[in-house]
Amino acid sequence: MPTNHKRLGRLRRSDPLRKIAREVDLSPRHLAYPIFVAEAATEPRPIKSMPGISQLPIGAAEAEAREVLELGIPAIMIFGIPERKDDQASGAAAPDGIVQRTIRTIKDAYPELLVVADVCLCQYMSHGHCGVINAKGEIENDATLELLAQTAVSYAQAGADVVAPSDMMDGRVLAIRRALDSAGFHELPILSYAAKFASSFYGPFREAAESSPEFGDRSSYQLDPANLEEAVREAETDVQEGADMVMVKPALPYLDVLRAVRQAVSVPVAAYNVSGEYAMLKAAADAGHLDEERVVLEALLSIRRAGADLIFTYHAKDAARWLQ
């Protein structure tokens, strides 16, 4: 016999009661779908570690955009894989670059779909790092800011609705805000990857985006996976610099960070359910070890529960279908 009259199970006994008691929900409007557009691709090139995801030519990217819109997913995120790279990332801000052309194509066809442009230099750098490298092989934070700002402005000029810097240089949000404002884009929001960890869960992405660093790793600019308080400071700093939204990345191994950031800032918070998280569930599902639909929806719901308003996920299209 219970010692008092409390029985928490009472509210779980029927579907309508569970609906009333449910604290968060998951719907297609909480999702955003990342795509990879390759300048050299003439047809989709499947990415081995990410079943169901391919590097796309622009035409196929336009078709993806249509599907995303029809599924009720509000946003698409574009990653570009340029044909040429150098040590100044000169392709990043090119007006006819692969990302710029893709943005124009998608916005022309589907003006109502939100196009988020990831702003980073690693895909355009011959060495694969997110910033300019000096003779000693170190990242030059301040020299990188100018290039990032030019890149963000060129994405804005191409028609991007949101720019999302993912480089983790200090001061980039302010530098990008100033550059956007002086180019007349006062109204264009910045979604900053504020708490981006030096994570091995990006492995499949680097195959997909052909952006593995040639030497060293990214731990001199991305966050130490041990640090939650520092992640909160990053988010607060980015909001002070003018970020309109902040992101935590990866998502599932960092739900505690997501929760802490959610409580620290009052702007919308996004989470990036990254390539390695996708690859894990896909591999387990393909091996028959897990029920894909159920585990994906549970994982995404848990990211919502931790505090995400928006989830960038390669499962977005599948999840939207399952939720219909």
Q: Per-residue b/e over 91-120, b at no fewer than 16 CB within 10 Å?
A: bbbbeebbbbbbbbbbbeebeebbbbbbbb
* Using rule CB under 6 A, residue 118 touches ligand PBG: yes
Query: Strand pairing of 139-140 and 132-133?
Result: antiparallel
Q: How far is the CB of 166 from ligand PBG (least distance, A)?
A: 4
Q: What is the DSSP secondary structure assignment for residue 27, as one 8-state letter?
A: -
Residues in contact with ligand PBG, counted by CB under 6 A, come to a total of: 11
* Using rule CB under 6 A, residue 162 touches ligand PBG: no
Q: What DSSP element (H or E) covers 46?
A: strand 45-46
**Cα(11)–Cα(14) distance, integer angstroms:** 7
Asked if 131 and 159 count as a contact pair (C-beta separation under 8 A), the reply is: no
* Using rule CB under 6 A, residue 202 touches ligand PBG: yes
317 is catalytic: no
* Using rule CB under 6 A, residue 161 touches ligand PBG: no
The 241-260 site mask, x for binding ligand PBG (CB under 6 A), equals --------------------
By beta-carbon proximity to ligand PBG, the closer residue of 168 and 306 is 168
Q: How far is the CB of 25 from ligand PBG (least distance, A)?
A: 24
Sign of the CA dihedral 98, 99, 105, 109?
positive
* Using rule CB under 6 A, residue 122 touches ligand PBG: yes
**Cα(322)–Cα(320) distance, integer angstroms:** 6
Query: Strand pairing of 75-81 and 139-140?
Result: unpaired
Q: How far is the CB of 150 from ligand PBG (least distance, A)?
A: 17
Catalytic residue among 85, 107, 196, 317: 196
Catalytic residue among 85, 107, 249, 317: 249
* Using rule CB under 6 A, residue 130 touches ligand PBG: yes
**Cα(173)–Cα(238) distance, integer angstroms:** 6
Nearest CA among 157, 30, 175 for reference residue 165: 175
Q: How far is the CB of 6 from ligand PBG (least distance, A)?
A: 43
Q: How far is the CB of 7 from ligand PBG (least distance, A)?
A: 43
* Using rule CB under 6 A, residue 151 touches ligand PBG: no
By beta-carbon proximity to ligand PBG, the closer residue of 85 and 218 is 218
196 is catalytic: yes
List of residues contacting ligand PBG (CB under 6 A) = 118, 120, 122, 130, 166, 202, 205-206, 218, 274-275
